[in-house]
Structure 1
Amino acid sequence: MYVHEEGNLRQFIELFAGCGGMSLGLQSKNFDLVLANELSPMAAETFALNHLGIDLSKTTSAGSNKVSWLASNHSIDNLDKRLRENPYETRTADAGGYSDINDEDLVHGRHLIIGSIVQLNEFLEQELNANIPLKDKLTVDLVSGGPPCQSFSMAGLRQKDNHRNRLPWEFARFVGLTRPKIALLENVSGILRAFKEGGNEFHAWIEVSKAFASIGYAPICIHVNAKYVGLPQNRPRFIMLALRRDVLDKLLRTPLNDAEKEALELALESLSSSFRWDQMKYWDVSNSADAGFFLGDLFGSFFTHRTSTEWVPSQSALQDLEISSKSESPQSSYVQKINILFGHKLSSTKTNTQLRKHTNKVKQRFRVYQVLENVGIRSLFSAICNENDPQVLKILTAPLLKEEFLFEGNSLRTPRDMNEVVDLFKKLKTKKHTQRALVRSAPAPAALSIPDDCCHYSETELRTLSVREVARLQSFPDSFEFKSKVTTGGMNRKFEVPQYTQAGNAVPPLLARAAGTSINTILERIETIETESLKRRW
């Protein structure tokens, strides 16, 4: 299904697989999928179609022994109900539910397991305790994944005790059971910001690092941004590469620059029981002091687009999809690139292009967001809505009295005075505080998982983005088809993962490809050491 580059195929397991963005990027760098796990049946439906070639919405069973459920309230004959059930309320077979998994599913190859990582770890421990040699059969180079991150996100509620915060520890638990050479964990950059509690600070990234160090995996922590790897999106992310002790020992015997050596030696020190974790650090792609780390061979793949002139703008991803665009409008080099790198043969036409309908009031709000982006002061919306002093309001509205954003029929006009601006802003006020407009000449913002997180940059298209447009910004190829519901709302948001959320929350394939490049370099280095060691023996 995928065209691999020249070189060794490396086996990997994908946890928290979502719709499959991480897997897509890794497979483009010669990683071969052995096993995937995803909690949401809605996201799993997309993963199964694009990575296993199985359309779960058109079959009466999981098919070909490639998809299994850890727990469900419905039998396999009711697959349509399985695909829509709340995964947090499913019952195991012991509790009156259904389970399809068996030990062969773990080693069968290219298998998707739907259900909780907690239940998967429990199952794996039971199999190992029964002396079934799964560890030998599950020998892989890499375990990767991006645990859900809403409670770490700076755009969210920042809940230290949210149950989702335990998932990175379950990730480490799985790694401890399967013992890959390397573990790759991706998360929001909010994991780097301290939680404050009772006057003390709690650093989630350090606690996660401790969990991996406790099982003999040395953590190398990196703060990256997807725009530096060619994504048309300003998407800062936390990356942890956790190296098994023997892998790290060999890597330290290879040629390293000073920054790489510092990072690896610090990772090695963290495995000591006497290590002081207040000395732990991460390497930041936007910090000039860390430049040496990202200019070396090991981690340079995270820093290929180094200046703002090299960043890919939103327009490069979306221009040929604009309603006003002519059908023969050429695709940008960016779109051509992702279609070549990640495209496959499941579909020859673009899917997920449906546009949402908006009222005039919503369109007016979108135009206001565009204007605020143009003047570079997005905070003006709430400031004007909450300010009562006329003198202050006069200063706040001054930059807006040169912009056209009031509707008059089907045309736009400039507001006449301060009062007209204030009245409009208060009429359009909403509880949602993260809405913004794309800027044609700049990368998109990170928040894209809800339809109205952002609106289009075009004055003639006052609308949200389609799922395909979100996917383009995330570096998915046009042949990648998103399944299940398009969007959701109300209480269903707590467990449903519709198409917009699948695309917006995914690990961007281009970022995963960059990580795969780095991991390949590390593995090639240690393989050279192993080969030289064998030669000396003989």
Structure 2
Amino acid sequence: MHPAASPHPTKAPKRPVAVDLFAGAGGLSLGLEQAGFDVVTSVEYDPVHATTHAFNFPLTDVLCDDIGKLPVDALRRSVQRGWENHHPAEPWDGTVDLVAGGPPCQGFSWIGKRRVDDARNDLIFHFFRLVNSLRPKYFLMENVPGITAGEHKELLADLVSKFEDAGYVVPKPQILNAAHYGVPQDRRRFMLLGYRNDVNPVSHPAPIFQPVRPVRSTLSAQLDGLPLGASVWDAIGDLPDLDAFPALASSDKVKLTSTQRKKMELASSAYARMLCGIDEDPTDFSHPRAGMSGWLTSSWQTQHTQTSIDRFAATEQGKTEKISRFLRLSEGGLCNTLRAGTGGERGAHTSPRPLHPRLARVISVREAARLHSFPDWFRLHSTKWNGFRQIGNAVPPIFGRALGRAVIEALGVEAVKPTIELDLPDEKLLYMAMGEATRFAGATHESIPKSRRQSRELLELAAAV
């Protein structure tokens, strides 16, 4: 997928090169870019997510393909194209500093059936296949903690053994919580971080923040004396009531008046001020984006029945509403783990969405994005279902940034902030249904896993090509 042209310097500053496999809409890609990497290639098999990724990362070459079938030569050609997008006047020397990715986790999740023979579990070995082919200096694999339990431990041990036999050093994996790195969400994730045996070693990043509410962690005893991280209200307290905007009943965006923008600015926490671009974030080394200044985006209203509204209103903060099983967020605490739900091939079930701490409704996609540490310029797919799925599947960018910084430090390079603002492509990429997204992404019927070929639109497309 070739993104629209964007302005870039004739000779951009040299930054480490990263590749993101299983990229989704781009949470980890953004975190790595914020840490100081040029993410030259991202691979995502879902065409809707791939087009959203292409919108937010105009210099990245986005491959819409199945990792399980992706030839190494095709991946290398994509890296070459992505390098040329970032450095049009300088040839690529073949070096890849980091390959990262989070293989689909449903096969390992405690919430699912956790079948050891789930075909999705094979993707961790395709991750190894592509890492070993590109031979990056470092690799990072993210997954759910369930990968360390039961019979899945044998799969994990096999994976680690393959990396070690291929000349990589794999320190003891860690289960880290995004809340310890400034994300206002209780989100525990397994991290496998390894390095080639001829480069500097890398360690998992130390905690940066004490969560505003205690979370489960083996590191809890080490958090004393650290500053408190952001709370739910720090993340969303400045965002306006969606019901005050009739346009959001039929659209995911609305233009704000100067008075409304000023009101938001006055209510913004330090966390929100950085995400909405009021204050500069000194640890963010990503390319500046043109964004949509003055717009509230990803904010389509959810219409509830009056009965539901009454039940939501009667639910206390920090408690679960008994019928819907939705948790009402506590404004001074952390958000619970935001989940993606299931894809269309598995019934298109939506995971329970938290309730707003003060308003009698579920949170919006933008509010979920704030709780996940996405900046306001970052756009999600216009539909609520896809938008929430993209967030639930993503690594929180601030968390990904901390992981990327650990590799940057091991590389011994100084992070460089690009100065040229990137223009984002046509936002029609955010409104594409599956068939249109498939055509735009250049995906073939064979490149999409069978589980995603169930929609009538895709079958019609397959018959037409």
- Residues 223-262 of structure 1, C-alpha deviation per residue, up to 9 Å, x if partnerless? 1110100001111111111111112xx549xxx9xx99xx
Correspondence for 1:311: 229
Distance 2:7 2:180 in 1: 25
The answer to whether the 8 A contact 1:438-1:454 is kept is: no
The TM-score normalised by the length of structure 1 is 0.58
The question of 1:116 aligning with 2:66 is answered: yes
The question of 1:286 aligning with 2:228 is answered: no
The question of 1:337 aligning with 2:312 is answered: no
Match for residue 15 of structure 2 among 9, 18, 25: 9
The question of 1:350 aligning with 2:296 is answered: yes
The answer to whether the 8 A contact 1:223-1:285 is kept is: no
Correspondence for 2:162: 211
Residue type at the aligned position of 2:156: W
SS of 1:19's equivalent in the other structure is coil
Distance 1:357 1:223 in 2: 38
SS of 1:12's equivalent in the other structure is strand
Correspondence for 1:506: 394
Distance 1:147 1:473 in 2: 23
Stretch of structure 1 that moved more, 18-27 or 148-157: 148-157
The answer to whether the 8 A contact 2:309-2:360 is kept is: yes
- Answer with 1 or 2: which has the greater Rg: 1
Distance 2:98 2:149 in 1: 27
The question of 1:240 aligning with 2:128 is answered: no
Match for residue 485 of structure 1 among 383, 388, 412: 383
The question of 1:169 aligning with 2:125 is answered: yes
Correspondence for 1:181: 137
Correspondence for 1:471: 369
The answer to whether the 8 A contact 1:474-1:509 is kept is: yes
The answer to whether the 8 A contact 1:355-1:465 is kept is: no
- Matching of residues 60-459 of structure 1 within 5 Å: 110-121=60-71, 124=74, 138-195=94-151, 202-220=153-171, 221-247=173-199, 250-251=200-201, 286-288=217-219, 310-323=228-241, 327=260, 328-329=263-264, 330-338=267-275, 339=277, 340=280, 341=284, 344-348=289-293, 349-367=295-313, 370-371=315-316, 373-374=318-319, 428=323, 435-450=326-341, 453-459=352-358
> CA offset at residue 361 of structure 1?
3.2
> CA offset at residue 218 of structure 1?
1.7
Distance 1:476 1:447 in 2: 13
- Residues 368-388 of structure 1, C-alpha deviation per residue, up to 9 Å, x if partnerless? 6x43835xxx5xx8xxxxxxx
- Residues 340-366 of structure 1, C-alpha deviation per residue, up to 9 Å, x if partnerless? 436621322231111211113333443
SS of 1:436's equivalent in the other structure is coil
Consecutive unaligned residues of structure 2, counting only runs of 5 or more, are 1-5, 78-91, 206-214, 245-258, 342-349, 414-465
> CA offset at residue 7 of structure 1?
8.4
The answer to whether the 8 A contact 1:144-1:183 is kept is: yes
Pick closer, same or farther for the CA change 1:289–1:215 going to 2, 3 Å.
Answer: farther
SS of 2:378's equivalent in the other structure is coil
SS of 1:246's equivalent in the other structure is coil
The answer to whether the 8 A contact 1:153-1:191 is kept is: yes
Structure 1 vs Structure 2 CA RMSD: 3.5
The answer to whether the 8 A contact 2:72-2:133 is kept is: no
Determine what percentage of the aligned residue pairs are the same residue. 30
The answer to whether the 8 A contact 1:16-1:145 is kept is: yes
Distance 1:243 1:472 in 2: 32
SS of 2:381's equivalent in the other structure is coil
Distance 1:289 1:353 in 2: 35
Match for residue 403 of structure 2 among 488, 499, 515: 515
Consecutive unaligned residues of structure 1, counting only runs of 5 or more, are 54-109, 128-135, 196-200, 261-283, 292-304, 382-424, 488-497, 526-538
Stretch of structure 1 that moved more, 21-30 or 320-329: 320-329
Pick closer, same or farther for the CA change 1:314–1:285 going to 2, 3 Å.
Answer: closer
Larger helix fraction of residues: 1
The structure showing larger relative contact order (alpha-carbon pairs under 8 Å, at least 6 residues apart) is 2
The answer to whether the 8 A contact 2:147-2:153 is kept is: no
The answer to whether the 8 A contact 2:298-2:382 is kept is: no
> CA offset at residue 473 of structure 1?
0.7
The TM-score normalised by the length of structure 2 is 0.66
Pick closer, same or farther for the CA change 1:362–1:166 going to 2, 3 Å.
Answer: farther
- Matching of residues 29-44 of structure 1 within 5 Å: 29-44=35-50
> CA offset at residue 505 of structure 1?
1.4
Pick closer, same or farther for the CA change 1:480–1:206 going to 2, 3 Å.
Answer: same
Distance 2:76 2:53 in 1: 27
Pick closer, same or farther for the CA change 1:288–1:114 going to 2, 3 Å.
Answer: closer
Pick closer, same or farther for the CA change 1:2–1:509 going to 2, 3 Å.
Answer: farther
Distance 1:367 1:38 in 2: 39
Distance 1:457 1:39 in 2: 32
Correspondence for 2:29: 23
The answer to whether the 8 A contact 2:317-2:330 is kept is: no
The answer to whether the 8 A contact 2:300-2:384 is kept is: no
Distance 2:317 2:35 in 1: 41
Correspondence for 1:524: 412
